[in-house]
Amino acid sequence: MASKDPADRPPDNSGPWDPDTALRNLNAELALGMVSSPEEMARKLFKENLPVAVMAICHMATYSDTEMMRFQAAKFVVERTMGPAERIIATDSRHAWDDIYDSVTHEAENYLRKQ
């Protein structure tokens, strides 16, 4: 059963974003003790908006107009998921990218043999 308390409902995002109102609301949250510090508020905002930000970066990686933008966004996604390439070392001292490349190549060769 849905709560009738307005504080439990998501905000109405149907109108244009007003930064002054948003800032007043954030200051009210801080003043009312809903968050303990501006840093906690920032972490809360980042956490709440993380899915939208990730979708935006993935969309840029796939659909950006320029190849450089697609590459940079894709690189960001890969490095945030797997870590920077220079730090990814497999247990046998091979670079993790070598294993990924070998796996993709092997899968493609198997696919072509079946054709």
Residue pair 73/61 in contact by the 8 Å Cβ criterion? yes
Say yes or no to pLDDT of 110 above 90. Answer: no
pLDDT tens for each residue of 34-51 = 999 999 999 999 999 999
Torsion, Cα 44 48 51 55, to 10 degrees, reads -90
Q: Residue 58 and residue 75: Cα distance in Å, rounded?
A: 10
pLDDT tens for each residue of 26-38 = 999 999 999 999 9
Q: Which residues partner with 36 through β-bridges?
A: none
pTM, to two decimals: 0.53
Distance (Å) of CA 13 to CA 22, 29, 32, 54, 63 = 11, 18, 22, 20, 26
Torsion, Cα 76 38 13 73, to 10 degrees, reads -10
